[in-house]
Structure 1
Amino acid sequence: MPVGADGPLVGRIGLGCMGMSGEFYGPADDAQSVRVIHAALDAGATLLDTADMYGSGSNEDLVGKALRGRRDQAVLATKFGIRRADGRRWNDSSPAYARAACEASLRRLGVDTIDLYYVHRMDATTPVEDTVGELARLVDEGKIRHIGLSEVSAAQVRRAHAVHPIAAVQSEFSLWTRNVVEDGVLAACRELGTALVAYSPLGRGFLTGTVESLAHLAEGDFRRGNPRFAEGGLEANLPLLSTVRDIAAAHGARPAQIALAWVLAQGDDIFPIPGTRRLTYLEENIGAAQLELSPDERSRLDRAFREEAVVGDRYPAAIMPVTR
């Protein structure tokens, strides 16, 4: 399927590589992560997603290492716009930083061209038109092929697209996070022929049914500070999984597969990128593309995960994405 009206062809399910840096979900194994990336390519999960802030660049180093000798098999996506230094974190989507960040990502990845280059977060002062104008120049120079945005508003998508076609918008989207529907972002994407790339389609692991207490999370796992997991959030949300488990049992499937099948059922223009560091979970995730949920099953899931039933925001207040 094409990512957007004129974007690259990819499998329906991609691979999010963030967790492979070991920074967010506890210790990781680079050799195992490379095996997972290779297995994903072999299985047709060709959209690989990383970012310059994952592991402070080490995630791009890892993905670049995995792609040596296999670059032409992958659709390589990375992102810029979140900066960190001296314990601080801030957004920078200025044209000058867009260019500098792109050059740095190309070096770390060891490639000549990035297939899909996203603005990870817009800052509060740079007009989206200025950022996309610079990215369009990078397209003209052959350094990137397609432009994407992440966690933006419907208005920003339209304004950006007026400068240069936007192949994809990446936003969190899952059974328990449907902001892009409620705030009109998905409608704007469909109006413009822009794909939605759904990150955290498994609810940061919650929808797999394998996280039943904080004791299951490694020390340093960022979910320990996420409102939907921390301070009783996880326990309050666990009852939501009963419907997922019931439908999974009826299909002889895993809860994660039902959650991904629900995302896929929302439209052919939506591409989930579940992350994993394990071959078993990769196989499960890709297998979700073979599941078809009935209209009744989709309705049951919609009702179970209605907005008011979910306890906690999707991010801590300090880093909640802000769009305008």
Structure 2
Amino acid sequence: MHLRRSRPILLLPVFGLLAGCNMVTMHPSGDVAVQQRDLIIASTLLMLLIIVPVMLLIALFAWRYRQSNTAATYDPEWHHSTQLEVAIWSAPLAIIVALGALTWISTHVLDPYRPIARISPTQAVPQGIKPLTVEVVALDWKWLFIYPDLGIATVNELAAPVDTPIAFKITASSVMNSFYIPALAGQIYAMPAMETKLHAVINKPGEYEGFSANYSGEGFSDMHFKFHGMSNADFQRWVQTVKAGGGGALNRADYLRLAMPSERDPVHRYAVVAPDLYEAILNECVDSSKMCMSDMMRIDAHGGLGLPGGRNLVATDYESLRRRDGRRARTYVASICEIPGAADLKSRLAQTRPQTRLLNDR
């Protein structure tokens, strides 16, 4: 019996092992992540201003008004106290106002789409400095990083110089993922045919963990990468190493092979990247036989294809093979043919025959 009672005490040293855990979210190395950590701490402390007194008062009331305490006031007819009502409602109202103000300010200051205004709490972004642009593509199940200004790309490896703003442009190839480097900034989603943005800065050199924070299938658990924070000189050497490493070129055909599902892919570097590759990925037209989504939206913005254009569709190869049960295969627009001089003809008709323009508008 004595051993059973002392068992919880014997387990206390086990909790000491938690001291070796690296709570990277609470010890970040980037200014944006630091501000997000401070927001978590401030919000928690504001909530504790209510939670702690309530917990203490519960214990106090339970002790003071216990059955054995005959000296405690017993008043079953009591039902109202103005002073108590003011105290009960004033404190939560003040905390809600404070949390609301803190949330409103932080929502604008830490907007991931907003370029950062400072490198650290004591240093603003220098005038004229150009952010490092990185185009991020979440694949199945690996990460592709394209440096458009440097003409290089990497798989499952990311690097950036310290104290330099980083502008991430993020998309995905097939399913939704979540781009997350806890030491750098909060997570943000990567979605196919959509672009999200993230602005951040790393302030300390080191190797940091990056991963997907959104389940995306069989290989999700191994969808990790290393983020290297480097001095400017080390970063330039890293860039030259990538360019001279003989990793080959990343063109559209190479990307289509890379985008095939695979797991535990090693780091790979590309010395040359097709300049329009990211835009093609974003618009889902890496396969040059398919129309880009931007072109489709432009056509829709000008009134669409109409019924005749709806007939000019081509079945995808894999759908035509699958649809052996007689059902209609899914289709896509292969191309749009433009009649030379059609725009000028329509303009002349609109000027000479207003009634034609009226019918067209209808």
Shorter-chain TM-score bucket reads: under 0.3
TM-score, length-scaled by structure 1: 0.25
More helix by share: 1
TM-score, length-scaled by structure 2: 0.23
Larger Rg: 2
Does 1 or 2 have the higher relative contact order (CA < 8 Å, sep 6+)? 1
More strand by share: 2
